[in-house]
Amino acid sequence: MSRATPALVAPAIGQLKLDNIHLDTLRPDEVLVKIHAVGICHADISCMRGIIPVKFPIVLGHEGAGTVLEVGDAVGGEIAPGDKVLLSFNSCRVCTTCNAGSPAYCENMLPLNFGGTRLDGSMPMRLQDGTPLHGNFFGQSSFSQLAIVSSASLVQVHEALPLDLLAPLGCGMQTGAGAVFNTLNVEADTSIVVFGTGAVGMAAIMAATIRGAHPIIGVDVVVDRLPIARDLGATHVLCYNDVEIVSHIKAICQGKGALNAVDTTGKPSVIAQMMNSLGCHGKGVSIGAPSPGTTVAVDIFSQITMGKRYIGCNQGDSIPQKMIPLLVQEHLQGRFPLDKIVKNYEIQDFAKAIDDMSSGRTIKPVLVWPE
Give dist(CA 212, CA 288) in Å, integer.
24
Decide: residue 165, CB within 10 A, 0-12 exposed, 13-18 middle, 19+ buried: middle
The answer to whether 207 and 177 have CB atoms below 8 angstroms apart is yes
| 285, part of any domain | yes
Give dist(CA 324, CA 304) in Å, integer.
37
Asked whether residue 165 falls in the same domain as residue 19, the answer is yes
| 124, part of any domain | yes
Q: What is the pLDDT of residues 120-169, one digit of tens each?
A: 999 999 999 999 999 999 999 999 999 999 999 999 999 999 999 999 99
Q: What is the pLDDT of residue 371?
A: 83
Question: Domain end: 316, 332, 351, which one?
Answer: 316
214-247: burial string, b at 16+ Cβ within 10 Å, e else: ebbbbbbeeeebbebbbebbbbbbbebeeeebbe
| 75, part of any domain | yes
Give dist(CA 1, CA 242) in Å, integer.
58
The answer to whether 181 and 336 have CB atoms below 8 angstroms apart is no
Asked whether residue 195 falls in the same domain as residue 250, the answer is yes
What three-state secondary structure class fits 141? coil
Decide: residue 107, CB within 10 A, 0-12 exposed, 13-18 middle, 19+ buried: middle
| 322, part of any domain | no
- Please give the angle made by the CA atoms of 77, 7 and 153, to the nearest 5 degrees: 30
Please report, for the domain that includes residue 224, its CATH number. Answer: 3.40.50.720
Asked whether residue 218 falls in the same domain as residue 266, the answer is yes
Instruction: Say which DSSP state 134 is in.
Output: B
The answer to whether 144 and 35 have CB atoms below 8 angstroms apart is yes
| 348, part of any domain | yes
Asked whether residue 196 falls in the same domain as residue 51, the answer is no
Nearest to 135 by CA among 114, 115, 116, 110: 116
Domain that holds residue 271: 173-316
Asked whether residue 260 falls in the same domain as residue 283, the answer is yes
Please report, for the domain that includes residue 147, its CATH number. Answer: 3.90.180.10
Decide: residue 273, CB within 10 A, 0-12 exposed, 13-18 middle, 19+ buried: buried
| 24, part of any domain | yes
Asked whether residue 181 falls in the same domain as residue 292, the answer is yes
Asked whether residue 209 falls in the same domain as residue 163, the answer is no
Asked whether residue 39 falls in the same domain as residue 159, the answer is yes
Name 262's bridge partners.
Answer: 194, 285
Instruction: Say which DSSP state 119 is in.
Output: T
Nearest to 137 by CA among 120, 149, 126: 149
| 325, part of any domain | no
Asked whether residue 149 falls in the same domain as residue 240, the answer is no
| 326, part of any domain | no
Give dist(CA 214, CA 189) in Å, integer.
5
The answer to whether 92 and 112 have CB atoms below 8 angstroms apart is yes
Where the chain has pLDDT below 70, the residues are: 1-2
173 CA to centre of own chain = 6
Phi, psi of 38 (to 5 degrees): -150, 130
What three-state secondary structure class fits 288? coil
Counted domains in the chain: 2
Instruction: Say which DSSP state 149 is in.
Output: E
Which pTM does this prediction carry? 0.96
Asked whether residue 350 falls in the same domain as residue 299, the answer is no
User: In Å, what is the CA distance from 171 to each residue of 5, 122, 227, 243?
Assistant: 24, 25, 24, 32
Asked whether residue 144 falls in the same domain as residue 165, the answer is yes
Asked whether residue 134 falls in the same domain as residue 54, the answer is yes
Nearest to 364 by CA among 188, 199, 122: 199
